Each structure stands twice: as structure tokens, then as C-alpha cells.
Amino acid sequence: MRLRHVRTSYVCLCLIALFGTGRLFSQHINRLKAEVDPETKEIDIQQEFTYKNDSRDTLTVLYFNDWAHSYSSKKTDLARRFAEDFKKSLHLAKEDERGYTQIFGMSDFEFRNLTWKRTPKRDLVQIQLNQPLPPGSSIKMYFTYTVTLPPNKYTPYGYDPRGGYYLKDWYLTPAVYNGSWQLYSNKNLEDLYTGLTNTTIDLTFPENLFLGTNFKEVNITSYPSKKVASLKGVDRKSGDIILNSSRKFIKHVTPFIIVVTDIRSPKYDEVSQGISINRITQFIHENLGEFPYEQLLVSETDFNKNPLYGLNQLPSFIRPYEEQFQFEMKFLKTALLSYLRETLFLNPRKEQWVTDAIVNYLMIRFVETYYPDQKLLGKLYSLWPVSTFTLAQLSFNDQYPFLYMLTARKNLDQRLTTSNDSLIKFNQKIANTYKAGLGLAYLAAYTGTEEVNNSIKDFYNTFKLQPVTPEDFRNSIKANTSKDVSWFFETYVETDKRIDFKIKNVIKEEDTLEVVLKNKSGTNVPISLFGLRNDSVVSNYWFSDITGIDTVLIPNKQEDRLVLNYDQKIPEFNQRDNWKSLSGFFSSNKKLKLQFLKDAENPYYNQLFYMPVAGFNVYDGISPGIRFSNKTLLERPFIFSVAPSLALKERSLVGVAGFNYRKYLRKSGLYVLNYSLSMSSFHFQTNSRYSTITPSFGLGWRPDDLISNERKSLVFRYVNVLRDIDPSLNIETDPDYNVFNVRYNHYNNDIIDFFSWFVDGQYSADFSKVSFNFDYRKLFDNNTQLNLRFFAGKFLRNETNSDFFSFALDRPTDYLFDYNYLGRSEESGITSQQIIIAEGGFKSQLENPFANDWLVTTNASFNIWRWIELYGDVGFVRNRGTDPRFVYDSGIRLNLVTDYFELYFPLYSNNGWEIAQPAYDQKIRFLVTLSPRTLIGLFTRKWF
């Protein structure tokens, strides 16, 4: 009774606040006549808009969102966002593949022209009013314009190759004014912020298309070659329209809401799909409340924008889940997102975490309610050898802390209140949304599930179709629980502080257990403690305000193990020290678990993973081997890897080993320290082996903007080289040597403006030298790409008697063994034609290519058609006792995948016309990257 009174009182207070402060959200009125032209892919629009000034200020200008214009150039925020995600499609688009808005005229209710202009962001329009608009007043305006749609190859919006259309944010909508203008450009983040309107749309479109919309379909009339739909939306933000020829939208009339959808599962019969939709709509209705509109649009296109990341993105024929589960999870997520997007008017750019928290929390609850035994790997979890993996034992809901921790362990996690456009892609799409939902599950475990469920329902029903802020969500939760929840908002939501506890010690008494807990991070949040006997939970406690080392007393219920955060409700940074055995000292030691391939962390074992590996160079031949490592799917501070291999050609052992400790300091500035020891041993010539032992220490810097690709580093290393040389080889240098190397790197790996430079210093017993390297790439507006590189190297001291340590024009000797040469000592054959762009960077193989004093070169190339480029290299080579020598070469570069696979065809150089000389095929050079880790980085770089 008391709780009900608190909830009722809270609702009354909210209503008083809404009415008493003038916070009611008055609606604008919007009428559109729009006609889709299938030939030109244009929409001709006549728009009558009545703007209601619901603020306390007199307005002299208005702003409207014109997000359809964000596809119009390479300078918009949308194009820049794509560049940050390593997508060049919009930048390279032809003019007829762009989308834009052509405004023909704007006038007021007296048909006087309105002065308007585009803001520097390009997809926002500023309208200068002919007379000021006082608070509470309205102005009627008329807009005439044409929207040229883009193809849907950049985003899901626009027209598709099959003649369909997805229209979202396609007409002019008012920006929000709440004391200041909230002006946001389209950055492909699904976060248009616009005022509420009562909108009617008369839409004319081709007769062969089916219509799906979030608006009410008042009438659809068919004519020869076209259809005209009358659509109505009351208190709506914007109208979404899907027109397609192949997927007809089905209207499901459930007891709770009318659903319009084109989501279907070919292997799940239609009757069962209907039953599932009924179940989902009932679940949403019971946990949120009445949907205030006539129908809910749940589309396949919306799901594709926000899919169930992970295994659900596998091809359908190998997905490990039952068809019913797949269909329901897909439909549930899409429906929840549409439900809340349509009715909760939070600032989607700044306050998205509230919606994410509710959506993902309800998804967690849905699985707990209907699929409590569902495994993350689905049907695969019981198959051998999959069943031996820790990953196979994870429940489906364990993905939430696991995927959030992917970025947390990389020191890339961001607070939930971070603006949507400041999140790295993985956080924006996955990690932050999962952390938000997991946070509510954490809160529910602490305060009680019913309290959180009631809070969400009260919040939704009080503030749907009203202006709302995260503070309202906080007040709703506070009103439904007697416990202090300030930690949730002030620490969990508003900071990126890590949660990390450990059991330091346990003292057993006859009736009690004295448990010493340590808060390793100092983050003041509650922590749960479980007591287990024979792997069954026999006790459960919550403790708060532990900020350092504290001792708690609990009853002795004959537990044999105590575990912190056993149910995984808390996204804890490190769970490897969360348990303590009560069965004696030796039982507290973790057992060794030897396991095939990489796996998730198992906090109860010391895991050692092994997997097959294979390497290749022309001297060792194929080198199969096995790698042993402690590296799990989640990054950990200390990692070791030992990979012995058998060189089949030399019939001897080769391989690599490495030990690395990484210490993250903070998010930006000097953010990481890295300590490592690496070792390797391979053959560099027949019956000749090299071995390296390299200790190193590195520091890393990054900017405050984590989306930025800019990085800086300073690395110190001491390279020890040991060589066992065949006596028949004429080697003029000492077989063993040591080099102390210092390098400062600074790069920005941007696809439009790329730059990278380093300063390198080396000191050894026989020489010391410095070098400078600068790379720059620029993709111009006309789609021409210019590549420039400059290198300068100088010996400060050189007491060597060979060119082994000299600067090289085209093929460095690689005495530090940094480069992945397939045949580092070859002077003929295909492997001798491998090129690694380093030092001089020349492609032609010139006479006397070494410099034992100094070397200065410049390399340049530009594309003439797509990936076909012309290149040219020039430079000066200076050897001791001789004059500087001018060198040059030129040719054609096939830049198939930059830095990964390239071909070079020399044309003219100091050697003359090389293309006319004999054995030209032996002059062709190639660049290839075979490292799996490097190749994977090509695809994952856009996420992190």
C-alpha cells in the first residue's frame, strides 16, 4: 500500500509540474503533398507548416532539419562521419548518385517571401521571419521543394535497385527550441531531434509498390500507373515510409496493438509467427503500457539498421538458434526500438542511453522469462568439441557484459551520457547500449526486480508524448524504491569508472565467516556476494560503501566457496579474483586447463590455449607448429605467446615467443604503457639462422576525441641479433650485434587526409644514425588521390665495412628483422621482387642502391583511373668519399588494397626504358601482407 501511494503521489507531482510550469508540448501542424517520380528518383513536395512557438522567448528565426540534403556533398557531417568509419562510398559518389534538396520558395501566410539560407552544416535551414513570433503565437508557412533521393548504398535510406524506397527524415521538420536551438546534423546515428507535429501526408507513388508506414493509413486510392495514400500522424515526430515491390506488409491486429510488419521467417510458419507477435506485444504492453498511436511499424529495414549483433548475423543456414527464438528476438528488438522512438521525446543525440537501457533491459527480461536455458551458442553448445569451451557454457544474456567488456578491456569504454556522435562505432552500436541495459539489470538485482519494472512502467506512462529528460527517469526510480540509487546515476551512468572487487581473505569461525573485501578500483557501487555448496547457491548478500578494504561478517552456512558477482549482473572489469575456496589452501589454487583455440575467460581456472600455426619463407619452407598462449577473447594486461614450429625445408625448430604487459593510464593524453619481451628464430639463408631477443618499452598518446584516428607513440627497444652462419657464405659483418633503437611515431589513419611520420634513432657499436619518414595521402573532391612520401637518413657515425647497415633505395637489408620478407636474402626469383616501402621506397632495382653516408628520397603517385596510378621516385644517394648521385624511377602502380596488396610496373628510370628491356617480368614488384592479424585489422578498424 505504501509503495502504491508513493507511485500515485509521484504521478500527481509530475502532472502538476507539467501543467504548472507550462511544460506542455504544443503541437505544430504539418500538411504535405508529395509525389514520388520513379524515373528521376525525386519527390516533389508542397508543404504547409504551422509553427507554434511554445517557448518563453520571442523568435525571429526558425530552423528546420533538411537531412535529405546531407548526401549532397563531400563536406557534410554525414560524409565526414563516413570517412571516420573508413567508408569512401559517399565521397567517391558521382553527382547523379547524390541526394539533395532543391528549395524553390518559402513564404509566410501572407505569401510574402521568407529569407532562408543553409547553415554551414548544410542539412539545416535557417528561416528569417518577416516579423517576430511571440510566445504562444503561431505562423503558417509554405514550402515548395524537390528532394532528390540517394541510392541506398550509403545508408538504408533512399531508393534501392529493385525500385523500392525507404523514406526517413525525408521532408523538412522543425528543430527543437528549448531556450536554445538544438541543431544536429545527420551523422547516420538515427537521432533526428524534431518537434511534435500533427501531420497529414498525401503521397502519390507507383502502383506496383506496397506501402508500410508508422502513420495511420486513412485511405489508399489506386489510379492507372499510380496510387495515392492519405496518411495521418497525430503528435508525431516524423513520418517513415517504406515502398517496396517484393515484401508486402502484413497487418497483425493483436489485443494490445496493431502491428504493421514485413518481418518474416521462411522456416517459421505464419500461424506461429502470429502467436509470437501476440506474445511480444503482450510483453511490451505489460512492461511499458498502452501505445498511443493507431499502429506500430516493425520493418525488416529497421532491424537491419540495429540487428542482433553476433551469431544472429551469420547466414541463416548455419545459425545455431531455433527459428522461434530467432524470430522473436528479432521482432522484439525492432518493436521495442520503434515503440520508444515514436513515443519518448528524449534528446536522441544527448540522452539516448535511457532508451537503450529500457530496450536492452526488457530484452534481458524477455529471455529470462521465456528462454531461461538459452545458451549463447544455441544448439552448438552441446556438440563436441564446442561443449568444452567456456564460451559454450555462457547463457544468451551473458553476451551483455561480455560485449561491453570488449571495449572496456581495450580502454575504449565511454560513459553512458557521452553524446551519440562522440561514441566510437562499437560503443554506439553495441557496448554502450548493452552497458545501459545491463545497468538496469544490475539495479534490479540490488533494489528488486519489481521496483525497477514499476519504475520503467511509471516513467513511460507519465512521460510518453511529453518532453522528458533523464532526470525524470531518475525521479521515477527513486520514487519506487527505498534504497539509495544515487550511485547508479552518478557513477555507473555519468562516469566510465571501472568496477573491480576481490575477496582478499576469509576467516572461518564456528557460526560466522569474516570476509575481507577489497575494492580495487575505488568505485563506490554495491557488490554482491554468493555462498556456494556443491555448485548450488546457499546464500546471497549485498554490500555497499566499500571503497577500499573492508571486512564483512556473514553467517556460516557451510559454504565451500564464496564468489563475488556470481550471477554476472555486475559488469565487473576482472572476475579472475572473485572467488575464494573454503575447503583448504590447496583447493584455493586454480587448476590448469589446457584448451584448443581461444576462449572466453574462466575465472576458476588458469587457462592455457593451444592452436595450430603455419609460417613460410623460402629458406624454412612451410613451418607448421603449435602456439601456446593465455590470450582470451577479452584483452588482459599480461599476455604471453610461445609458438615453436618445424621448418620442413631445414628440418629444424624455428618460431617466436613474446611476453607483453600493458598498463592503461587514462582515456586520453598519455593513455598506455607497454612492456614487452619478444624472441624469434628463423633462417635467413640456407643453413644460416638468425635469432633475436628484444626487450622494449613504449608509451602511447591519443586525443580526447576517441573517434579520432590520430595516435602518437614513443618506443625504446634493444634489439639483440644472434646469427649462426654457414661457413660457405661470405659475410663481412660480425655474426652477432646489438642495436638500441628509439622511435617517435605520429599518425592519423584517415581515408581522406592520411598522414604518418616518425623520427628514428639507432645506436650500435659500429654505427649510429637518424632518419625521418613522412607519408601523406589526400583524396581530393574530384576523387583523385595523391600519395606523397619523404625519407631522409644520415649516419652520425659509420665504422662498418659493408652495406649491411646502410640505407637502401629499394630493398632494405632489414638487419633489425622487422619486415616480413618471404626471402630476405634472395637476389633473383619471385621472392626477390617483393617490395616493402621503407627507407628509399624505390620500385626499380638500380645499380649501387646503398648509401653509407646519407640518403634523401621522395616518392609520389596519383590515380589516373580507380586503382590504377602513376608513380615516380626521385632522390639523392651519398656514399663516403663520393659526390651525391641523383636517382629516379617511374611506372604504373596497381593499388588494389592500399598497404596490403599492390603491384608495381616500372617504366623509366636510371636504367632507361625498363619496359623495353629483356626479362621485364622480373622487374615487376609486388607488395603483399599475409599476417592474419594485420588483415583482420583492415575490417575491424571501423569499429574501434
pLDDT band with cut points at 50, 70 and 90 for residue 380 = confident
Q: What share of the chain has pLDDT > 90, as a percent?
A: 78
- Whole-number Å distance between alpha carbons of 39 and 50: 32
For residue 583, give the CATH number of its domain: 2.60.40.10
Higher-pLDDT residue of 617 and 940 is 617
Within-domain flag for 693: yes
Q: Is there a single domain that holds both residue 583 and residue 710?
A: no
Q: Is there a single domain that holds both residue 875 and residue 772?
A: yes
Q: Is there a single domain that holds both residue 583 and residue 670?
A: no
Q: Is there a single domain that holds both residue 565 and residue 675?
A: no
Within-domain flag for 232: no
Model pLDDT, residue 11: 39
- Whole-number Å distance between alpha carbons of 744 and 751: 22
Structural domain boundaries, residue 529: 501-589
Give the total number of structural domains in the chain. 2
Q: Put residue 781 in one of left, alpha, beta given phi > 0 → left and psi -120 to 50 → alpha.
A: alpha
Q: Is the pLDDT of residue 291 over 70?
A: yes
Within-domain flag for 560: yes
SS3 488: helix
How many residues are present in the chain? 944
Q: Is there a single domain that holds both residue 530 and residue 675?
A: no
Model pLDDT, residue 7: 39
SS3 559: coil
Q: Is there a single domain that holds both residue 570 and residue 676?
A: no
Mean pLDDT of the 597-601 span? 91
Domain stops at, among 561, 589, 617: 589
Q: What share of the chain has pLDDT > 70, as a percent?
A: 95
Within-domain flag for 41: no
Q: Is there a single domain that holds both residue 814 and residue 905?
A: yes
Residues 908, 890 contacting (CB under 8 angstroms): yes
Question: What pTM does this model have?
Answer: 0.90
Q: What does the pLDDT look like over 678-687, one tens digit per residue? A: 999 999 988 9
Within-domain flag for 393: no
- Whole-number Å distance between alpha carbons of 881 and 335: 78
Model pLDDT, residue 3: 34
Nearest Cα to 877, choosing from 904, 910, 906, 907?
910
- Whole-number Å distance between alpha carbons of 173 and 915: 61
pLDDT band with cut points at 50, 70 and 90 for residue 14 = very low
Mean pLDDT of the 410-436 span? 95
**Beta-strand (E) ranges in 619-766?**
621-629, 638-647, 652-664, 669-685, 688-702, 710-724, 737-748, 753-764
Mean pLDDT for the chain? 91
Domain stops at, among 552, 568, 589: 589
**Beta-strand (E) ranges in 686-726?**
688-702, 710-724
SS3 422: helix
Q: Is there a single domain that holds both residue 793 and residue 913?
A: yes
Q: Is the pLDDT of residue 935 over 70?
A: no
Q: Is there a single domain that holds both residue 843 and residue 721?
A: yes
Lowest mean pLDDT among 71-75, 704-708, 731-735: 731-735
Q: Is the pLDDT of residue 406 over 70?
A: yes
Q: What does the pLDDT look like over 692-703, one tens digit per residue? A: 999 999 999 999
Q: Is there a single domain that holds both residue 746 and residue 841?
A: yes
Model pLDDT, residue 584: 67
Model pLDDT, residue 898: 80
Domain stops at, among 535, 558, 589: 589
pLDDT band with cut points at 50, 70 and 90 for residue 20 = very low
For residue 887, give the CATH number of its domain: 2.40.160
Residues 635, 410 contacting (CB under 8 angstroms): yes
Q: What does the pLDDT look like over 317-360, one tens digit per residue? A: 677 899 999 999 999 999 999 999 999 999 999 999 999 999 99
Task: For the chain, report the end-to-end CA distance as a whole number of angstroms.
Answer: 50
Model pLDDT, residue 301: 87
Within-domain flag for 526: yes
Within-domain flag for 429: no
Q: Is there a single domain that holds both residue 568 and residue 675?
A: no
Within-domain flag for 386: no
